[in-house]
Amino acid sequence: MARCPAILIAAPASGQGKTTAACALARLHARQGQRVRVFKCGPDFLDPYWLALASGGPVHQLDLWMTGEADCARRLHDAALEADLILIEGVMGLFDGQPSAADLAQRFGISVLAVIDAGAMAGTFGALAWGLQHYREDLPFAGVLANRVASPGHAVMLQDGLREPAQWLGALMRNEALTLPERHLGLVMDHELGDAMARLDAAADALAETKLGQMTLDELQAWSVDFAAADVPEPGFTAAALRGVTIAVARDAAFCFIYAANLDCLQAMGAELVYFSPLADAALPPCDALWLPGGYPELHAEALAGNLPMKSSIAGHVQAGKPVWAECGGMMALFDQLTGADGRTWPMWGVLPGAVTMQKRLAALGPQQLEVAGGVLRGHTFHYSTCATPLQPVTRTQAASGRTLRGEGEALYASGPAGLVRASYFHAWFASCPPAAARLFLRE
């Protein structure tokens, strides 16, 4: 038996304060010496940085389509074996997406905590809370937390509007110190702020004044779930597929969109991972293959353009016929040039012919899948730039099951000796098809 209190922290929409509430709850219990495991619902690279800092542990994604129901079951089961509390931050609104956070909660019987930005409402707060709880039959519901509340008197008005008073879990007062800053792709990363932990502690202190924050572990047992081992299949990793292969992984402020579970997947297949910084290092570490993940090359274009030794080292890797997998931001840096949102243009690494231009509006968003050698990888796309290149796509991504694409899917480009430089805006979830993930890093 793997039984553990579990809460899915959701909201009526994005921007209500889900991440702040999840971080506050994780930090509050971690400070008390409890073992907290946090997950993020849906594809997201940025919220997990904050959730990991708050909880002190790795944060993995849960998505009934992208990661798959079996993968979700295994991760929750394994977490329940070691944790005192499991928290899952939802995505967008509670019922948004196919599948939604509500679908995940119902599949595993996880109670939903609704966070509602109550800054500009009174009695309507109760209507929203009632609707979230009862919109779908048999949705496990923990209660509601009011966010950005103006005063104690305002909190009383909100509480009085609830049809079920027992659902009131407290109010977080309006306080800019609790706000996590954002930019075009989401939250600013924790390590970019000198006061990241202070912000989390302030949020935890504020939550400690609420009913939710004052609940003991014994009281939290009311939301326990038995993540039974019978529901958990064996992982589908291809044993030893990457044994003896050293993969250099770009990881710094410019290349930071990395699923922790993707690293685990590569290592489970025998790969040795070595990390480097395209911003600060002069050369690649000794390696057999290169992974350039997504991130913010547009925010660091000048530094990337100025690091000529690294550009030369990457060119040497390509000329030696070694594999490269570049996704989104990693692909952007491989083109000849990049034009930022401010109109300035910088030379990039020149591995792929063409130019990338940042746009003011989102260029693509949503779950997609990509068929490559070895199988079909599931993942997603989310970018503000577009690229112009004479390269012809080898293939394109397809829509997730039950969805349709607006326009063409994301291109997969192949270049270099034997076409071993493979690049796309597509972000892959490696565990969705380990054999296909392995082939991205092999000379085949």
Residue numbers annotated as active site: 328
Instruction: Give the span between the Cα atoms of 28 and 100, in whole angstroms.
Output: 27
Residues 8, 9, 13, 16, Cα dihedral to 10°: 180
**Residue-wise DSSP of 174-218:** P-GGGPPPEETTEEPPGGG-TTHHHHHHHHHHHHTTSTTTT--HH
Both tokens of residue 232? 């958990």
Q: Give me the half-sphere count of Cα atoms (radius 13 Å) on the Cβ side of residue 206.
A: 25
Kindly provide the residue ranges of all beta strands, DSSP E only, lying in 200-333, ordered along the sequence.
224-226, 246-250, 255-257, 272-276, 289-292, 294-295, 324-327
What is the distance between the terminal CA atoms of the chain, rounded to a whole angstrom?
43
Q: Is the link from the previous residue into 278 a cis peptide, with omega within 30 of 0?
A: no
Instruction: Give the span between the Cα atoms of 20 and 12, in whole angstroms.
Output: 15
Ramachandran sector of residue 62 (left: φ over 0; alpha: ψ -120 to 50; beta: rest):
beta
62, burial (CB in 10 Å: exposed 0-12, middle 13-18, buried 19+)? buried
Instruction: Give the span between the Cα atoms of 429 and 434, in whole angstroms.
Output: 9
Instruction: Give the span between the Cα atoms of 330 and 321, in whole angstroms.
Output: 18
Sign of CA dihedral 44, 47, 49, 51: negative
Q: How far is CA 421 from the centre of its chain?
A: 25
84: nearest Cα among 32, 35, 29, 39: 35
Q: Are the C-beta atoms of 281 and 254 separated by less than 8 Å?
A: no
b/e burial code for range 16-27 (CB count within 10 A of at least 16 → b)? bbbbbbbbbbbb
Helix, strand, coil percentages (3-state) for the chain, rounded to 5, are 35, 30, 40
Amino acid at 380: H
